[in-house]
A and B are shown apart, each in its own frame.
Chain A
Amino acid sequence: MFSFIHTADIHLDSPMLRLDEYEGAPAGRIRQATRRALDNLVQLAISEKVNFVLISGDLYDGDWKDYQTGLFFISRMARLAEAGIPVYIIAGNHDAASRTTKSLSLPDGVKLIGWRSPATFMLENIGVAIHGQSFPTQAVNIDLSEKYPPAVAGFFNIGMLHTCATGSSEHAPYAPCSVEGLKLKGYDYWALGHIHKHQVLCEDPLVIFPGNLQGRSIKETGPKGCVLVRVEKDRPVYEFHAMDVIRWALCEVDVTGEETEHGFFEKVMNSLSAIAANTDIPMLVRINVVGTCPIHDRIASDREKLVGEIRAGTISLYPDRIWIEKVRLNTAPLPQQAPERSGGPIELLMNLIEEIGTDPNELTGLGSCLNELWEKLPLEIRNSEAAVSPNDAETIGRLLAEVRPMLIQRLGISK
């Protein structure tokens, strides 16, 4: 009987992406979240007295250049070494790009598996053979597992592999491989890394992505952690352990048919209370309000105020429990009844909005008024999904739909 922990994609010190900051947000909760998640992992390994720990790639973010991060990692690995728990690491695409990975000297008992060819570590005392290979470069487009050695007879064989497996739209398609290909190797357990969502690709043999250790953006919702595997009589049994210190959640609020601001606010708060009731750790919540409703124009014309009220409500109800990452107000107006014949300039203005909205050239033409700002914006903003590019007709079109109710309200011509 022996046990081990399988983790991957620690991305140490990578920040929580694009978190709206506001007065009263529980800032302390996200401090060094990835570090604290790693601490949780080390604690679990020690308290469970596991025989070894596997890290299947991506310790750090590739473009992160702080050696302190590496030193912190070393200090935690040293704790495991002190407790007599060896650690096996393969470098992933991020690690291959990280200079820190290359220049750190690891404590005894922590092995970074080489990148030239697959390597095997034999743990004779418990009958385990660990096979693995690091990424030599950031972009590896071949199936690394093909060259992994055959299973060692009489041993429990584990393959460590950083891979996109059969592909995922959210992750770079590195070191692709197929479950069938992995099965052919005759290993007992495949410890995969790279995909940030925990998933079990195959039960026999076990082929597992543990997911990343701490969610860092709204794309990484739900509990994040590692897999603890117990092997008795060569039969592995796994269980997932959440290690994260703060968790992301998407809160969809449907306000279809809502007529009053009060009702709107109540629905948002009810959805939040459902989230607060179902968690034991602090949450980072994105609120996405949808639905066709009479108060759409009211919402659309004063977004900032409503967002402020939602935040204030959250602070008073769930201080230190919930951080509103963003509020997306994606409601739709009621379909137009028989069109009003106002005639004159207002009708002209409304027709103009409609006209521009359906013509990409017109949209980018209108968007040119944002050129001056666009030129001043740093790349981080320009390359972001939320970027308002003057040349992107679709984005301008979406904004236009938000501008219309604003104009109606300001000109005092609301129905």
Chain B
Amino acid sequence: MKILRLDLIAFGPFSGITLDLSKGNEGLLLIYGPNEAGKSSALRAIGYLLYGIPERCEDGFLHPYQKLRIGGVLRTGGGRVIEAIRRKARSNALRAPDDSPLDEALWHEVCGRVSCQDFSRRFGIDHEALVEGGREIVNGGGELADVLFAAGAGVAAFRRIEDQVLAEANDLFKPGGSRPEINALLSGLREEQGKLRELQLPNETWDIHFKAHQTALSERMAVQVEIERTEQERNRLKRIQNALPLIGRRKGILQEIADYLPTAILPGDFSEKRQKAVHDLRLQEQYADQAKLSLTKLRSELSELKISPAVLNFSQEISDLYLKLGGHRKAVADRPKLIAQKKALEDQAKELLAELRRDYPFERVEDLRLQADEEVIIRNLGAKREKYVANLENALEKTSELTLAIAEITEKLSDIAVRRDTSGIQIALDDAKSYGRIEDELSQIEIKIVNAEKQANFDLAGLELWKGGLDQLEQLQAPDPETVDDFESRFRETENEIGIHTRELEKLSREIRDIESKVSAIKAGDVPSLEDLEDSRSLRKSGWKLIRGVIDGVKGSEDDERDYIAKVSEASTLPDAFEKNMHVADELSDRLRREADRVSEYNTLIAGRKALELQRNEVLAGKEQIDKSFGGIKLDWTNLWLQCGISPGPPKQMRRWVLKRSELVRKWAEIRTLRSEAEYRARKIEELKEALEKCLNEICHLTEAGESLQKLVAKTAQVIESETRILADRDRLENDLQQKKHELRKMESQGEKAKSELETWQAQWETAISPLELDGQSIPEQANAILSKLQEIFAKLKEAKGFGHRVDEIDADFETFKKQAEDLVSRTVPELQGMSVEKAVSSMNDLMNTAKADKIRREGLLKKIGEEERSLKGAYGRIDRLRIEIGVMLEEAACDGIEAFPEAERRSARKKELIEKLEQIEEQLVELASGSSIEEFSAEVEAEDTDLILPRLKHLEEEIAGLDAKKSELDQTIGREEGELRRMDGRGDAAEVAQQIQGRLADIENKVRQYSRLKLAHALLLRAKERHREMSQGPVIKRTSELFRALTLGSFEGVRAETDDSGTSVIVGFRRGGEETVSVQGMSDGTADQLYLALRLASFEYYISQNEPQPLILDDILIRFDNERAKATLKVLAEISEKTQVIMFTHHRHLVELAQSVIGEDNLLTQDLSAAAGQIS
């Protein structure tokens, strides 16, 4: 493929720039542009033209993205020329010059079916790639396979990528390592598995501990029994040891007790009781003597007392009379005072009466006393008068107020206008309101209609393939979507078929090409073929025919001879030619024999190719058949649409068309509906307005012409509102008037009632006050004053009468007292008769008091005598009892007399002491005997050899200590085993570790997979690069060697493959006829760059020798080259441009001059981008 023209229509800094690249055979184009001249943009433009402008693009700074355009003309290897314009778009980005969309697949075909990535990677070299490539060669030691792969694929970093894959794999696993992840995980796994084994509790372990525990328990029980037995024996011996002294002491006590056998044991308190009894007896005898003396003295005092019985018998009456004597004396003293008080009160009453009626006789005062109810009646009537007067006055005042108010209201009512009927106008208003905002609706619908029409017309204009109006479109009998779908699937199926055939064809072609590449590989090694031999032989045959002709004298035509000589190279005469021809044929025959294997492979390949070609022809025939039926479908499709006068596009497009059309028809129907709605509303508005205007005019509210319905409705509402307000005022005033009239009538009747009440009262009043001798006009206050005065007079008179009664009572009491006193004196002390009453009563009282005192004294003496007699009798009784008690004691202590008591008491005490001691000892012995009787125990003790007890005890203690130690040991064992068994509690530690192991296994599996991918990737890379080396090494190294010599100006004679110390094939440079070799590490940076460039160019040439040539795009690769090397490189590029187009970008002008100096004018084309940029500015 060759780019004939590049049109930078609108891209980067360029506008309408055309670069003509058609010159030369294929042509070397040098595009010069200083910095900022758009060199990079132009470089990118080539890639974008071929493969599309990417989503993110940095060249839209002058032209907006949607306006970016790159055009170009390409020529295919087959000589086909095609022109296209590339836009930045997601679809249909590629256009023909007439702006019709171009098929990308077709374009891709033109571009040699190379991907965008491949294109830039393999057919483009820039300075950075060159430097990186050179560096990688040096770093990799020039390993041949790496170097060839990197240069062939255009992946400069190939070696590094390969190393990276391996390094990642090694980070995961190394056979002898421990740090890589999988190694570490595996050792972790082993650790966890070990831990699991530790944690798992084997059944046997449980058994062992369980049994050990049981055994220890039973052993401890046996030891315990032995300890108890031994301790028992030790305790017995200890008891005997302790009992020995006690038994000796017991014997001594028993002997002494025998001496005291007859002695009675006296109670502990005997001595004390005995001493008390003797002392008491003596005391009682003294008491008896004293009592006898007292009795004699008391009896003589009694006989001397004398008492009068008469005075004592009337003692109560005498006391009473003596008490009355005091009262009598006081009454006599009060009497004159009472008489004086009575007189004073009567005088005050007389004065009061005189104040009321000066001339009224006091004796008739009682005539003035009123009946109780008479006074009440006067007072009540007096109180009522004021109320009756007030009622009357109030009624008169209210009556006059109401009369005035009624007059005012009547006047107001006469001012208010007559009422008007508004019901008709209300009906019209309600009707208008029921249509809501009908005018707004109308205008909205009208807007909708306008918009819908606009949209429909716009859509109609956008409906491709149709020029008529909407009405016609609606009438159109277009195919339905199902039919379109049906066609689409038919199209698709057929296209698929075509696709399958095309791919099959491509596959076959590829296989044929593969064979061809293999054939050419064999051929590259210059393998002779049978055809070569046959060709050579048939040539020889034709030569021989000519020679034979000469020999036979039948010479052929001169043309044939010349032809023959020309066919055999480097020959001038027929014999020469024949001889050479014969040599060549012999040589070929020999070589065919020598290289039979390669020849046979070659022949097999050729046979294979033939078979494939046959197959390809069959597929081609099939494809033609399908193409034909595809044509048929297309025709049916076109006919279907011609019925409606449309020339159809593809079904997909037409399905959209059908959908668009039905959408348009739908919209058209909507517009019609809207229009009829609008008409209906306009009509209705007019009707409503008319009705309202008529009503308003009827009630004198004249309307203006052309008012809107909305305004009329508002106006009507106002009129109705004002009419309603007037009506309400009138109703309110009429109500008021009725109310006031009613109140006036009520007040007038109240006035009448109050007047009659006052008259009734006046009559009652006159009657009531007549006893007070007042006239009828007297007011109640006057009557009340007279009544109060009368009350005061009668109160004084009542009090004076009380004092008179008291004086009469005093006189009667004195007579009664005197009679009683005389009677009593005659009955008790007649000798007092003749004395004054008061004196006789006093004396009689003194006598009675003396008699009473004597009587009390006699009773006291009698009581004392009784007490003394009882005391004497008691003393005698006690003396008797004490004598008996002492007698019993003498008998108990076996004594003859009181004086023998002390000795008897001493012996008794001693005997008692001995018995107590014995009991103590026996008590201890009973304890020590531990169940045996004292006698048995004593016998046991006596039977024991006392000298052996101590050593035996010591032995037993030792035995016990030994047993204790054994027991404690067993306790420890039991504790330990119980601890072990407690750990066996069903815990899940082992299960948890097992779970962790599962997690680790999962981890390992994941990492193993990751490792495997990396490792396989690495193995594939190794294989691929080896295979590539095998295939390309011969031709590529040969050509690289030539190029390298040229590029280094002969500093190196070339490169070749050598095997290094480790057995790896590496590339080295050589000099001096191959005597001196230079490893890549020994080359300078510049030389390494040149080596990489040589490899790239050789690989490129190798590629285009086997595939359709592609342009080679170079971006400033000569920066680090000196002028001479640059010239050499330009020469090499010119050489390559004989075979394919070479485009080189640079921003060094001198390179242009250098190029012009070494390359012929007809093969060099230069473009100055700064000039193009100048056009822009």
Q: Which chain A residues have a beta carbon within 8 Å of chain B's beta carbons?
A: 13-21, 30-32, 34-35, 64-75, 99-100, 103, 303-304, 326, 338-346, 348-349, 352-353, 356, 366-367, 369-370, 372-373, 376-378, 380-381, 384, 386-388, 396, 399-400, 402-403, 406-407, 410-415
The answer to whether A21 and B117 touch across the interface, beta carbons within 8 angstroms, is: no
Q: Which residues of B contact A99 (CB under 8 A)?
A: 203
Task: Kindly list the 8 A-B residue pairs having the minimum CB-CB distance in the complex, ordered from nearest.
Answer: A72-B986, A21-B999, A71-B986, A13-B991, A349-B1024, A67-B201, A15-B995, A66-B200
Q: Which residues of A contact B997 (CB under 8 A)?
A: 15
The answer to whether B153 and A345 touch across the interface, beta carbons within 8 angstroms, is: yes
The answer to whether B152 and A388 touch across the interface, beta carbons within 8 angstroms, is: no
A–B Cβ pairs within 8 angstroms, 16 of them: A64-B994, A65-B202, A66-B199, A66-B200, A66-B201, A67-B205, A68-B985, A70-B986, A100-B203, A343-B1107, A352-B1020, A370-B1011, A377-B1004, A384-B1005, A411-B155, A413-B153
The reply to whether the CB of B530 lies closer than 8 angstroms to some CB of chain A is no
The answer to whether B152 and A345 touch across the interface, beta carbons within 8 angstroms, is: yes
The reply to whether the CB of B1021 lies closer than 8 angstroms to some CB of chain A is yes
CA distance A156 to B112 in the complex (A): 85
**A35, A342, A410: the one within 8 Å of B988 (CB):** A35
Size category of the B interface is 35 or more
Q: Which residues of B contact A388 (CB under 8 A)?
A: 1008-1009, 1012
**Known contacts A20-B1006, A366-B1020, A411-B161; is-contact A344 B152 (Cβ 8 Å):** yes
Q: Which residues of A contact B152 (CB under 8 A)?
A: 344-345
CA distance A380 to B1016 in the complex (A): 23
Q: Which residues of B contact A373 (CB under 8 A)?
A: 173, 175, 182, 1008, 1011-1012, 1015
**A346, A353, A415: the one within 8 Å of B1020 (CB):** A353
The answer to whether A342 and B115 touch across the interface, beta carbons within 8 angstroms, is: yes
The reply to whether the CB of B990 lies closer than 8 angstroms to some CB of chain A is yes
**B986, B989, B1004, B1106: the one within 8 Å of A74 (CB):** B986
Chain B residues 68-127 with CB under 8 Å of chain A are: 105, 108, 112-118, 121-122
Closest chain-A Cβ to B184's Cβ sits at a distance in Å of 12
The answer to whether B113 and A341 touch across the interface, beta carbons within 8 angstroms, is: yes
Q: Which residues of A contact B1106 (CB under 8 A)?
A: 343
In this complex, which of B115, B149, B998, B1003 has the most chain A Cβ atoms within 10 angstroms of its Cβ? B998
**Known contacts A13-B991, A18-B998; is-contact A406 B205 (Cβ 8 Å):** no
**Known contacts A343-B1106, A413-B155; is-contact A68 B1020 (Cβ 8 Å):** no
Q: Which residues of B contact A338 (CB under 8 A)?
A: 105, 108, 113, 503, 506
Q: Which residues of A contact B1001 (CB under 8 A)?
A: 18, 380-381, 384
The answer to whether B1002 and A402 touch across the interface, beta carbons within 8 angstroms, is: no
CA distance A400 to B988 in the complex (A): 42
**A17, A366, A372, A377: the one within 8 Å of B1008 (CB):** A377
The answer to whether B998 and A339 touch across the interface, beta carbons within 8 angstroms, is: no
The reply to whether the CB of B67 lies closer than 8 angstroms to some CB of chain A is no
Binary CB contact string for chain B from 1007 to 1048 against chain A (1 if under 8 A, 0 otherwise): 011111101111111011101100100000000000000000
CA distance A19 to B1106 in the complex (A): 54
Closest chain-B Cβ to A9's Cβ sits at a distance in Å of 17
Q: Which residues of B contact A352 (CB under 8 A)?
A: 1020, 1023-1024, 1027
Chain B residues 155-173 with CB under 8 Å of chain A are: 155, 158, 161, 164-165, 173
The reply to whether the CB of B207 lies closer than 8 angstroms to some CB of chain A is yes
Q: Which residues of B contact A13 (CB under 8 A)?
A: 988, 990-991, 994
Closest chain-A Cβ to B981's Cβ sits at a distance in Å of 10
Closest chain-B Cβ to A325's Cβ sits at a distance in Å of 8
Q: Which residues of A contact B116 (CB under 8 A)?
A: 415
Q: Which residues of A contact B814 (CB under 8 A)?
A: none
Chain B binding surface, main DSSP class = helix
Closest chain-B Cβ to A65's Cβ sits at a distance in Å of 5
Closest chain-A Cβ to B1100's Cβ sits at a distance in Å of 10
CA distance A19 to B121 in the complex (A): 44
**A21, A35, A367, A411: the one within 8 Å of B1000 (CB):** A21
The answer to whether A407 and B1005 touch across the interface, beta carbons within 8 angstroms, is: no
The reply to whether the CB of B1099 lies closer than 8 angstroms to some CB of chain A is yes
In this complex, which of B207, B503, B1004 has the most chain A Cβ atoms within 10 angstroms of its Cβ? B1004
Q: Which residues of B contact A73 (CB under 8 A)?
A: 986
Closest chain-A Cβ to B501's Cβ sits at a distance in Å of 13
The answer to whether B998 and A15 touch across the interface, beta carbons within 8 angstroms, is: yes
CA distance A340 to B112 in the complex (A): 9
The reply to whether the CB of B916 lies closer than 8 angstroms to some CB of chain A is no
The answer to whether A369 and B1016 touch across the interface, beta carbons within 8 angstroms, is: yes
The answer to whether B1027 and A32 touch across the interface, beta carbons within 8 angstroms, is: no
**Known contacts A342-B118, A343-B1103, A399-B1009; is-contact A406 B998 (Cβ 8 Å):** no
CA distance A263 to B998 in the complex (A): 33
Chain B residues 175-202 with CB under 8 Å of chain A are: 175, 182-183, 186, 189, 199-202
Known: A369-B1019, A381-B1005, A403-B1020. 8 other contacts (CB 8 A): A15-B997, A32-B988, A64-B994, A341-B1107, A373-B182, A376-B186, A377-B1008, A415-B117
The answer to whether B991 and A69 touch across the interface, beta carbons within 8 angstroms, is: yes
The answer to whether B1017 and A406 touch across the interface, beta carbons within 8 angstroms, is: yes
CA distance A410 to B1013 in the complex (A): 13
**Known contacts A345-B149, A373-B173, A376-B186; is-contact A396 B199 (Cβ 8 Å):** no
CA distance A13 to B122 in the complex (A): 61
Closest chain-A Cβ to B1067's Cβ sits at a distance in Å of 16
The answer to whether A348 and B991 touch across the interface, beta carbons within 8 angstroms, is: no
Q: Which residues of A contact B117 (CB under 8 A)?
A: 412-415
**Known contacts A74-B986, A410-B161; is-contact A344 B153 (Cβ 8 Å):** yes
Q: Which residue of the partner chain A has the closest CB to B1104?
A: A343
Q: Which residue of the partner chain A has the closest CB to B1024?
A: A349
Q: Which residues of B contact A103 (CB under 8 A)?
A: 203, 206-207
CA distance A339 to B109 in the complex (A): 11
The answer to whether B1004 and A381 touch across the interface, beta carbons within 8 angstroms, is: yes
**A68, A74, A370, A407: the one within 8 Å of B1012 (CB):** A370
**Known contacts A348-B1028, A373-B173; is-contact A17 B118 (Cβ 8 Å):** no
Q: Which residues of A contact B1031 (CB under 8 A)?
A: 348
The answer to whether B1013 and A402 touch across the interface, beta carbons within 8 angstroms, is: yes
Closest chain-A Cβ to B13's Cβ sits at a distance in Å of 29
**A15, A17, A74, A410: the one within 8 Å of B991 (CB):** A15
CA distance A67 to B883 in the complex (A): 102
Q: Which residue of the partner chain A has the closest CB to B122?
A: A344
In this complex, which of A341, A400, A402 has the most chain B Cβ atoms within 10 angstroms of its Cβ? A341
Closest chain-A Cβ to B857's Cβ sits at a distance in Å of 103
The answer to whether A386 and B994 touch across the interface, beta carbons within 8 angstroms, is: no
Q: Which residue of the partner chain A has the closest CB to B206?
A: A67
Q: Which residues of B contact A75 (CB under 8 A)?
A: 985-986
Closest chain-A Cβ to B419's Cβ sits at a distance in Å of 75
Q: Which residues of B contact A72 (CB under 8 A)?
A: 986-988
The reply to whether the CB of B992 lies closer than 8 angstroms to some CB of chain A is yes
CA distance A17 to B148 in the complex (A): 49
The answer to whether B1027 and A348 touch across the interface, beta carbons within 8 angstroms, is: yes
Q: Which residue of the partner chain B has the closest CB to A307?
A: B1006
Q: Which residue of the partner chain A has the closest CB to B503?
A: A338
Q: Which residues of A contact B121 (CB under 8 A)?
A: 412-413
CA distance A75 to B105 in the complex (A): 76
The answer to whether B113 and A376 touch across the interface, beta carbons within 8 angstroms, is: no
CA distance A407 to B152 in the complex (A): 17
**Known contacts A66-B991, A343-B1103; is-contact A376 B175 (Cβ 8 Å):** yes
The answer to whether A412 and B155 touch across the interface, beta carbons within 8 angstroms, is: yes
**B115, B990, B991, B1003: the one within 8 Å of A340 (CB):** B115
**B991, B1006, B1017, B1025: the one within 8 Å of A407 (CB):** B1017
Closest chain-A Cβ to B207's Cβ sits at a distance in Å of 7
**B108, B158, B999: the one within 8 Å of A20 (CB):** B999
Closest chain-B Cβ to A168's Cβ sits at a distance in Å of 24
Q: Which residues of A contact B207 (CB under 8 A)?
A: 103
CA distance A17 to B1003 in the complex (A): 12
**A18, A378, A412: the one within 8 Å of B189 (CB):** A378
Closest chain-B Cβ to A106's Cβ sits at a distance in Å of 14
CA distance A70 to B175 in the complex (A): 41
